[in-house]
Chain A
Amino acid sequence: MESKREAISKAMADFLEIPADIVLDLPRLTITGRNELYLENHKGIIEYSTVRMRINLSRGFLEVNGENLEIQALMPDEMKVVGDISSVKYLD
């Protein structure tokens, strides 16, 4: 369920053609091949193991499954995950 505030922000972003990830603080994912995942606008790590990783987002969280998962870099807004990624799932 979107709140009223979010709906207005989204409408404004659409109208002014501003990227949604800036206005709504939405995550931005870049996956290169199967081995590299670059994520902007994350909100911390919920769970981390070599086969499963859950990353907190502004709404819900992101589940990354795979093998030999490793966090190559971690900064307040962005992170880079490397390893053999098999699936990326959005969960509420």
Chain B
Amino acid sequence: MTNKFSDQVGGFISLRLRGYNLERVINLALARGIYIWDIKRDEDFIYLKVRNSGYEAFKNIVDEHGFELEIIKRDGLPFYRKILRRRMGLTAGAILFILVLYTMSSFVWFVDVTGNQNIDRTRILLSAARNGLYPGAAKWTFSRIEVEEAMLRELSEISYVECDIKGVRANIKVVEKVLPDRDTTGPCDIIADREGVVEEVLVLNGQAQVKAGDVVVKGDVLISGIMTPPIPPDHITMPTPPPAAEPTQVRARGQVKARTWYEGYGESRRLWEETASTGVEFNRLYVYSPWGPYLLIGKGEIPFASYEQTEKYWLTPGNRWGISFQAFQEKKVNTMQYTDNEAVEMARQKAMENLRSVMDGSVKMVDSHLEVLSSPSDPIVRVKVFVEGVEDIGIPQPIGSAEIGK
């Protein structure tokens, strides 16, 4: 019913009335549409509040009927204005603060990219920047939908892009296109992808050409897609057997598990030198001016023999003014001597790492053994790791393409 906020904005006056038949004033104010509230009776007086805008009209009523009127307090924004005028600095500061906050918040300061897996982040950012969305871009200079559409046109590998702008942060969400597998669809054979000893053959479609224990090399047909229908037993006994049915071509499917071999190489030094930070730091602060740089903090020589230097700049446009902060971190060289066993173990781990990058994740490791290639006096330990695994070596190949290849 009462709107405290609008009362505050418009300002209101607390009054005290005295006279005979005060109800009359209330009813008259009511009839003239003057909003009054907080009416309190105290003996001969009536206390009430009236809006600043209705005060003149209310005063007229009071004067016409000969009541005594006294202003107790003026409240609300119009009356605070006087106080604010006296404290100009505060007012100007507050206004400036709001203006700066508003201006700063109408720019995009951070751009993030999410959802990309194969596409480089910088490519997405560059594409967005070309279309107007970059850190420092004013929000009114680009249209979110236009940027999205232009990015979709530029980057053919993405199927969806969304620029979500929340405050000063823009998040570019992309969804990459998933291209269909180039799977063989027509009739095909299953051939060996690498050499090995067949352990297990599981045929879903086609005719098996190998059995467990066979040694196969890369390119051998494991499951053939050419099906020759079996000759029914009664046809064999016939004096003139009917001609055999034509072989049919199918897409061979199945799993051929074979024992395969991998070998990996790794090496490790017996003596290791490592530079590590000691945690001691020396800092320099420069102030750049048009008359040259001035060293403010960190006078004197750098107290370290070996150090790493990092530098940060804050410069004004035109590079005339600015500050630069240089940090020097002390470095120390630590030498470590490994025992034979430790060095071999490290070399073995490296060899295994190399192997893992070559081996498919589906290979099940069955056995492994290690061979040290270097002599004990060598400064570097060299090892070779042999791994025996079991894996599905079959890959599809369209029928006839192998012959064409040969």
Binding site for B on A (CB under 8 A): 44-50, 69-76, 78, 80
| Cβ-neighbour of B2 out of A45, A46, A69, A73 (below 8 A) | A73
The reply to whether B35 and A75 contact each other, CB–CB distance below 8 Å, is yes
- Does residue B238 face the partner (Cβ distance < 8 Å to A)? no
- A90 → B minimal CB distance (Å): 19
- Does residue B179 face the partner (Cβ distance < 8 Å to A)? no
The reply to whether A78 and B1 contact each other, CB–CB distance below 8 Å, is yes
Q: A74-B36, A75-B35 are in contact. Are A49 and B41 (CB under 8 A)?
A: yes
Q: Which of B1-58 contact A (CB under 8 A)?
A: 1-2, 22-23, 26-27, 30-31, 33, 35-42
* B residues less than 8 Å from A75 (CB atoms): 1, 30, 35
Q: Identify 12 new A-B residue pairs, CB closer than 8 A, beyond the known A49-B41, A70-B41, A73-B2.
A: A44-B26, A44-B27, A45-B23, A46-B23, A69-B41, A71-B26, A72-B37, A72-B38, A72-B39, A74-B39, A76-B33, A78-B1
Binding site for A on B (CB under 8 A): 1-2, 22-23, 26-27, 30-31, 33, 35-42
A80 nearest in chain B by CB position: B1
The reply to whether B23 and A47 contact each other, CB–CB distance below 8 Å, is yes
The reply to whether B30 and A44 contact each other, CB–CB distance below 8 Å, is yes
* A residues less than 8 Å from B38 (CB atoms): 70-73
* A residues less than 8 Å from B27 (CB atoms): 44-45
- B367 → A minimal CB distance (Å): 86
* B residues less than 8 Å from A47 (CB atoms): 23
The reply to whether B41 and A45 contact each other, CB–CB distance below 8 Å, is no
A78 nearest in chain B by CB position: B1
B2 nearest in chain A by CB position: A73
| Cβ-neighbour of B41 out of A48, A76, A80 (below 8 A) | A48
Pick from A49, A74, A76 the residue with the most CB of B within 10 Å: A74
In the docked arrangement, what's the CA distance between A45 and B39, Å?
A: 12
- B197 → A minimal CB distance (Å): 91
The reply to whether A71 and B39 contact each other, CB–CB distance below 8 Å, is yes
In the docked arrangement, what's the CA distance between A43 and B23, Å?
A: 12
Q: A46-B23, A47-B23, A80-B1 are in contact. Are A70 and B30 (CB under 8 A)?
A: no
A50 nearest in chain B by CB position: B41
In the docked arrangement, what's the CA distance between A80 and B35, Å?
A: 13
B27 nearest in chain A by CB position: A44
Q: A46-B23, A47-B23 are in contact. Are A70 and B39 (CB under 8 A)?
A: yes
| Cβ-neighbour of A70 out of B1, B23, B31, B40 (below 8 A) | B40
| Cβ-neighbour of A45 out of B1, B26, B33, B42 (below 8 A) | B26
In the docked arrangement, what's the CA distance between A92 and B98, Å?
A: 60
The 10 closest A-B pairs by CB, nearest first: A71-B39, A44-B27, A73-B37, A73-B1, A45-B23, A50-B41, A70-B40, A73-B2, A45-B26, A48-B23
- B38 → A minimal CB distance (Å): 6
* B residues less than 8 Å from A50 (CB atoms): 41-42
In the docked arrangement, what's the CA distance between A50 and B42, Å?
A: 8
- A71 → B minimal CB distance (Å): 4
The reply to whether A76 and B30 contact each other, CB–CB distance below 8 Å, is yes
The reply to whether B37 and A74 contact each other, CB–CB distance below 8 Å, is yes
In the docked arrangement, what's the CA distance between A44 and B31, Å?
A: 9
* B residues less than 8 Å from A70 (CB atoms): 38-41
* B residues less than 8 Å from A45 (CB atoms): 23, 26-27, 30
The reply to whether B1 and A48 contact each other, CB–CB distance below 8 Å, is no
In the docked arrangement, what's the CA distance between A6 and B213, Å?
A: 110
In the docked arrangement, what's the CA distance between A70 and B36, Å?
A: 12
- B7 → A minimal CB distance (Å): 11
A71 nearest in chain B by CB position: B39
